[in-house]
Amino acid sequence: MKASPLQKLIVAVLGWGAALVMFFPVAWMVLTGFKSEIDAVHSPPLLLFHPTLANFGHVIHAGDYLGALTNSIVIALGATVLGLLIAMPGAYAMAFFPNRWTKDLLLWMLSTKMMPAVGVLMPIYLICQKSGLLDTLTGLILVMMLSNLPIIVWMLYTFFKEIPGDIIEASRMDGANALDQLRIVLLPLAGPGIASTALLSIIITWNEAFWSLNLTSSNAAPLTAFIATFSAPEGLFWAKLSAASTLAVAPILIFGWLTQRQLVRGLTFGAVK
């Protein structure tokens, strides 16, 4: 039964309406990056103005954009890959071989995130200081990974639960060992779920602005520190900050777009059944 043209129109209008409303502040921010400072705070707000690249130039020159970008990429990828490696076996075990402690274990893992980071700042700072991990990529990767691990475990667990257990059983009956089961059966089916988890972990790490500011100074400073360089100095700064933020958001936005196709490939349950 196909949807009527009217229904299709309504869906399209609603879909695009939602998209534009949600995206408007981001678009406004990007636009502001191309305005001069005085145009940025002009009232009424300007849609037509003399665009300038001066803000982008200044921001790339004055801050260490490429260095910060590299650090952000290394930290986000490092924390995510490490997190996935540690989390996947655990999530696999809990999803396919649950026992009476599984739920409690999951909830305990989540509870490790209940301490606000700012309450535990000094202990972590002192530990990092004494182990020489301050202002190092390693230190930040470890802290971010530990911070994200409960979320990664939970999300993998959720997506693994979507997969009917009999598929795994069937492959085991066929003689496949655990590693093969993982590789041949599980990964293709849970692929979108794993990709979605990885994407989430990368984005959360990319935007994390507490540990990344407090545990770094000059060597390991990621894009969040880059943005803090242009945030709220004395005087008008919204155009420069918008430019800096556009530069910080662009890589992750592009990455997100490339990964999108993975996410909505769709699980092929039909084929399995």
Partner 1 sequence: MAKPTEKPHRRAKLMRTWPLLTPAVGVLLLWAFIPLAMTLWFSFQRYNLVDPTTDGFAGFSNYKFLVESPAFLVSIFNELVMVAAVLVITLVLGVAFAVLFDQEFPGRTIARLLVIAPFFVMPTVAALVWKNLLMDPVNGVFAYLARSLGLAPLDWFTHAPMAGVVMIVAWEWVPFATLILLTAMQSLDHQQVEAAKMDGARGPQILRYVILPHLSRPITIVLMMETIYLLAIFAEIFVTTSGGPGNATTTLTYLIYQKALVSFDVGGASAGGVIAVILANIVALFLIRSVARNVDL
Partner 2 sequence: MRLTITAAVSAALLAVSGTNALATTITIATVNNNDMVVMQKLSKIWEKQTGNHVKWVVLEENVLRQRVTTDIATHGGQFDVVTIGAYETPIWAKRGWLDKLNDFPASYDSGDLLAPVRTALTENGAMYAAPFYSESSFTMYRKDLFEKAGLTMPAQPTYAQIEQFADKLTDKSKQQYGICLRGKPGWGENMAFLGTLVNAYGGRWFDMSWKPQLTTKSWEDAINYYVKLMQKDGPPGAASDGFNEVEALFATGHCAIWIDSTVAAGLLDDPKQSQVAGKVGFAKAPEAVTDKGAAWQWIWSLAVPSSSKHEKTAENFIAWATSQQYIDLVGKTDGWVLAPPGTRLSTYQNPRYLAAAPFANQVLAAVQSVDPQHPTLDPVPYTGIQFVTIPPFQQIGTTVGQDIAGALSGSTSVSAALQSAQDSTTAAMQQAGYLK
59 or 198: CB nearest partner 2: 59
Considering only 69, 74, 170, 209, the residue that binds partner 1 (CB under 8 A) is: 209
How many residues of this chain interact with partner 2, rule: CB under 8 A? 32
The interface partner of residue 92, options being partner 2, partner 1, none and the CB cut-off 5 to 8 Å by kind, is: partner 1
Q: Is 151 in the site for partner 1 (CB under 8 A)?
A: yes
- The answer to whether 92 and 242 are in contact (CB under 8 A) is no
Residue 1: which residues within 8 A CB-CB, separation 6 or more? none
Tokens describing residue 267: 């699980």
Q: Does 71 bind partner 1 (CB under 8 A)?
A: no
* Site track for partner 1 across 226-265, x = CB under 8 A: -xx--xx-----x--xx--x--xx--xx--xx--xx-xx-
**62: contact with partner 2 by CB under 8 A:** yes
Q: Does 272 bind partner 1 (CB under 8 A)?
A: no
User: Does 48 help bind partner 2 (rule: CB under 8 A)?
Assistant: no
Neighbours of 95 (CB within 10 A): 21
Cβ proximity to partner 2, 38 vs 264, nearer residue: 38
221 binds partner 2, rule: CB under 8 A: yes
Write down the least CB distance from residue 175 to partner 1, Å.
Answer: 17
Buried b (16+ CB within 10 A) or exposed e, 56-69: beebeeebbbebbb
Binding mask 136-155 vs partner 2 (x if CB under 8 A, - otherwise)? --------------------
Write phi, then psi, for 174 (nearest 5 degrees): -75, 0
Is residue 22 near partner 1 by the rule CB under 8 A?
Answer: yes
Long-range contacts: 87-94, Cβ < 8 Å, 24+?
Answer: 87/149, 87/152, 87/153, 87/156, 88/156, 88/194, 90/153, 91/152, 91/153, 91/156, 91/157, 91/160, 92/156, 92/160, 92/182, 92/186, 94/153, 94/157
Instruction: Give the shortest CB-192-to-partner 1 separation in angstroms.
Output: 6
Contact status, residue 120 vs residue 158, Cβ threshold 8 Å: no
Q: Which of residues 49-68 bind partner 1 (CB under 8 A)?
A: none
- Considering only 29, 30, 41, 146, the residue that binds partner 2 (CB under 8 A) is 41
Of residues 245, 213, 212, the one with CA closest to residue 227: 245
Give the range of 53-61, 63-71, 113-121, 168-176 binding partner 1 by CB under 8 A.
113-121
Q: Is the dihedral of CA 160, 164, 258, 250 positive or negative?
A: negative
The reply on whether position 73 binds partner 1 by CB under 8 A is no
Site membership for partner 2, residue 264 (CB under 8 A):
no
**How many positions of this chain bind partner 1 (CB under 8 A)?**
100
